[in-house]
Chains A and B, each alone.
Chain A
Amino acid sequence: MRTVAKAGIALLLAGGLLLAGGALWVRTPVADRGRGASLTDGSDGFLPVSPGAASLDAQITALQDRLQALPADWRGFATLGIAYVTRARVSADPSWYPLAEAALEESLRLHGDGNAEAHLGLGALALARHDFRIALDHGRRAVAINPFGAEGYGVVGDALLELGRYEAAFEAFQTMVDTRPELAAYARVSYARELLGDVEGAVEAMEMAFDASGSPADAAWAAFQLGELAFGSGNAPRAAAWYERGLDLDPAFVPNLAGLAKVAAARGRLEEAVERYREVVTRYPAPEYVAALVDLYAATGRSSRSAEQEDVLLAMHELAAANGVDVDLELALFDADHGDPAAALRAARDEWHRRRSVHVADALGWALYANGRFEQAERYAERALALGTRNALFLFHAGMIRLALGEEDEARRDLRAALRTNPSFSIVHAPQAERVLAELERGR
């Protein structure tokens, strides 16, 4: 099946190249996918922060026309590159990334000194591709050019965070919010607090982001984050309310729909969850949603469907990799849970070699566990929890690793903590944690 998937990717890539046509940076956007037009296609001046594809495509086409006429417009190229990065993300289609790179490099070629915009764009691109060192470099250049702009600190902080350099990352976020307190900065403060285990503070900061949102699309994004914070701390009803609020604000923003699918699964309404995820995947084919379908089909006894989605997921990962996106961490977690422990460990080690974030520590710990190397696994599980993050999956991994080491008390503590943090943290693992805990109780 993997070969079939690969052939599909080759075709996709060829299509992308054909579309690219003459100049490296030109590609005609295909028709819009969603209803995002509602907010942004009028002349209401609401620029797309969470752009609907239609208006973003109009933006891209206009920029392309402009740059055909004014090929020395370096700001235009930077803007086009950033629009391409956004296009890739709103459509979950990584084949826009190489075009983004070409446009941003062209901007830098035209105007090498003092081009903060191009460095911000290249930073955003590198973040999207999970190339955090390069992102850090571009973010720092942007900051050096314009220390009074907040965006550069955002790129720097995001990159440092993913590299596991938390103290420096939080410092960058603090500078960002002290430079320009607004949604983008409040959201990063929220994430920092979440990582530090301060869920209440994270909610407070994200509510500030929500209140500071300048458009319904922004508000829908913040509502989604508030839903995630509520869900992650085990409050499914509040999560559902936020996701619904987000959908009211911007029906085109699919993650809120996925949130409702997740809530349905958490409430045991698996068929509803499957239906919702199928709609989500049709509208926004992001790997994590396909992964949810893999697990949901398996949980409802449809193994061939599950395998089918698994192939889709692998194809997506390969497509992403072919467009310069580093997917090792996602692959590691997926493989560890889906029967390829050797590949999982390879991917996780590669990633750990590149960056030492709590998420990578967790994935490496879990991959080591899948390979039966429990003692090593425990060290990484501890590192994953070192910031104090209240992450149910991390706690579950730690509990299972400790159980394998025969540390029953610690295992019981961790598994309980996982379920207390969020009793529905995973379609597969939450029920597993309950089973294991019950067995431990019986064995006492």
Chain B
Amino acid sequence: MSRTRIRTRMFAAAASLAVVAGLFALAPLSGTASSHREAPLVSRDPQIDTTDVWAFVSPDRPDTVTVVASWLPFEEPAGGPNFYSWADGARYSINIDNDHDAVVDLEYRWVFTSHYRNPNTFLYNTGQVTSLDDPDLNFYQTYDLVRVNQDTGKKTTLVNDAIAAPSNVGAASMPNYNSDLFDAAVVEFGNAPSRTFAGQSDDAFFLDLRVFDLLYGANLSEVGDDTLAGFNVNTLAMQVPMNDLALGKDAAANPIIGIWSTTSRRSTVIQNPDGSTRTDGKFVQVSRLGMPLVNEVVIPVGLKDYFNGSKPAADGAALPLVQDPELPRLLNAVYGLDIPDSDPNTAGIQRSDLISVFLTGLTGLNQPDGITPSEQLRLNMSIPPCSTTCSSLGALGGDIAGFPNGRRLADDTIDIALRVVLGVLLPDHQPIAETIGDGVDANDVPFTTSFPYVAFPHSGSDADPH
């Protein structure tokens, strides 16, 4: 979850709010004074705002892995008239490190293009829409999905000009959205086959955002509402054979992979040095997300811009931040909770447990040999989906097919992370480390049982989606 997401989420969470949100108020102004052009210093850029990444062995196709990632937090279902689009030309990427050197090996990259069927109107739809290529769907976006082998530079176009599922405008305009548009947006490619989906969905993350307000002295007993209930996001998903992701295409021999998303936008050159024509600029990474909550729990406020532009290979420098993160100190200051320490005999706070969870994976679960520590979501693909042992607390609940071994949609990430931060993985931890939570244990709507698994988006005609 990115910096901006927490900002916007906190804002929408009403009274908890604005504290970190403020810079958004550096607004565009009239901008007309003859001598002095006033432009915004910060603009909202939800299109590149990554919210979450999930990765898990597909429950109904256990020889494949599914990766899901979302952007554009807090989409109000009745968000017309413009609704929610992907940024044209930006690169939305899922990155895989399969040899544990903290450098991307495989990149799956989605790039979108907007289209208006009737350029004389900016209406989203001009009548009832019953298919993705319905002429009444006036605004639509197509995408290409390209696989970039970053070791060889080879690019393979997997999907060409596929149509993304539109925003769910409402029942009058899109009477059978779920089947006509959402399910129809699943595209197959390759032999296995592989699958991809791009489109709107319910925000699969569930939490009470007010847990973050505790940083500012609120009362943790007030939690228990899913702040994200009834909001949509834009989601990308892919389902590919394990061997496609594994080092040497051999998931049996090399089952552990690291996963993170990046989003990049194109810069531009004001003027060439010789004063001549302009050129297109380079692509700049503007957000990065692997493990959930890293931005909230581990990265101090002042380093969030750095983190969003950084590459995993530089993460070694972040070790001290993981070693002694901000959150336990805040919990100590506000609630008097103990600050955990994995090695009390060594001076200073030691957190080998957090280093495992956030930077290397856990020994015997998802930590590969010879790993270069870096922040990625790590998945051991050899662990089959749970059957009888399923627990939304994942590995903490004895279900090693779940977070922090990858992350499933139903994993209660907030509770797990709070408990881990408070030392639940350490022997002799304080009792509250086994019980602390935000009071929200499941998503507001059920996930679907087949790819892309996320729940259908809330409808724009739902009068009270939250």
Contacts and interface: CB of A to CB of B under 8 A. Distances in A.
Interface of A: 42-51, 56, 59, 62-63, 66, 70, 73, 75-76, 78-80, 82-83, 85-86, 89-90, 92, 114, 116-117, 120-121, 124, 127-128, 130, 145-146, 148-151, 154-155, 158, 162, 170, 173-174, 177-189, 191-193, 196, 198, 201, 204-205, 208, 211-219, 221, 224-225, 228, 245, 248-249, 254-255, 258, 284, 286, 288, 329-330, 333, 357, 359-360, 363
A333 B74 CA distance: 46
A196 B271 contact: yes
B286 interface: yes
B38 A128 contact: yes
B268 interface: yes
B14 A187 contact: no
15 contacts: A47-B21, A49-B24, A49-B27, A49-B42, A66-B19, A82-B25, A120-B41, A124-B26, A146-B305, A148-B305, A148-B309, A173-B270, A179-B284, A212-B87, A288-B33
B29 interface: yes
Given A90-B27, A216-B82, 5 more contacts: A80-B22, A83-B22, A215-B46, A221-B28, A221-B40
Nearest to B24: A47
B71 to A, nearest CB: 11
B43 A51 contact: no
A193 B12 contact: no
A424 B20 CA distance: 45
Contacts of B14: 43
Interface of A is mostly: helix
Most buried by B among A158, A182, A183: A182
A121 B74 CA distance: 26
Given A50-B28, A149-B305, A212 B265 contact: yes
Interface string B141-174: 0000000000000000000000000000000000
A130 B302 CA distance: 28
Interface in B6-43: 7-9, 11-12, 14-15, 17-43
B19 A79 contact: yes
A187 B24 CA distance: 16
B21 to A, nearest CB: 6
B101 interface: no
Interface in B269-320: 269-271, 278, 281-282, 284, 286, 301-303, 305-306, 309
Given A42-B76, A181-B267, A116 B302 contact: yes
B262 to A, nearest CB: 14
A63 B216 contact: no
Contacts of B301: 75
A330 B25 contact: no
A224 B32 CA distance: 9
A214 B39 contact: no
A217 B43 CA distance: 10
Contacts of B41: 120, 124, 151, 154-155, 184
Most buried by B among A50, A51, A90: A50
B47 interface: yes
B193 interface: no
B305 A47 contact: no
B26 A86 contact: yes
A49 B29 contact: no
B465 to A, nearest CB: 10
Contact of B18 (A79, A130, A213): A79
A44 B27 contact: no
B88 A211 contact: yes
A219 B25 CA distance: 16
A286 B306 contact: no
A219 B309 CA distance: 25
Given A49-B28, A83-B22, A255-B31, A184 B40 contact: yes
B44 interface: yes
Given A47-B11, A124-B26, A215 B38 contact: no
Given A187-B40, A214-B43, A181 B286 contact: yes
Most buried by B among A177, A205, A258, A330: A177
B26 A205 contact: no
Interface of B: 7-9, 11-12, 14-15, 17-48, 73-76, 79, 82, 87-88, 122, 216-217, 231, 265-271, 278, 281-282, 284, 286, 301-303, 305-306, 309, 466
A225 B9 CA distance: 30
A86 B27 contact: yes
A217 B268 CA distance: 24
A43 B466 contact: yes
Contacts of B270: 170, 173-174, 177, 189, 192-193, 196
Contacts of A146: 302, 305-306
Nearest to A40: B11
A180 B36 CA distance: 23
A228 B22 CA distance: 29
Contacts of A177: 267-268, 270, 281
Contacts of A121: 22
Nearest to A178: B267
A116 B305 CA distance: 12
A224 B31 contact: yes
Contacts of B18: 59, 62-63, 66, 76, 79, 83
A128 B41 CA distance: 12
B26 to A, nearest CB: 6
A196 B272 CA distance: 12
A174 B20 CA distance: 27
Most buried by A among B20, B40, B466: B40
Contact of A286 (B23, B32, B48, B284): B32
Contacts of A186: 268
Contacts of B39: 154, 158, 184, 187-188, 191
| 4 pairs of A and B residues whose beta carbons are closest in the complex | A79-B22, A45-B74, A44-B76, A214-B44
A359 B34 contact: yes
Contact of A79 (B21, B30, B281): B21
Contacts of A205: 268
A330 B24 contact: no
Given A130-B36, A359-B34, A213 B43 contact: yes
Nearest to A149: B305
A191 B284 CA distance: 21
Nearest to A79: B22
Given A149-B305, A179-B284, A184-B40, A45 B23 contact: no
A48 B265 CA distance: 22
B27 A117 contact: no
A215 B11 CA distance: 16
A117 B48 CA distance: 22
A62 B28 contact: no
B80 to A, nearest CB: 10
Contact of A48 (B27, B76, B281, B305): B27
A51 B35 contact: no
A83 B25 contact: yes
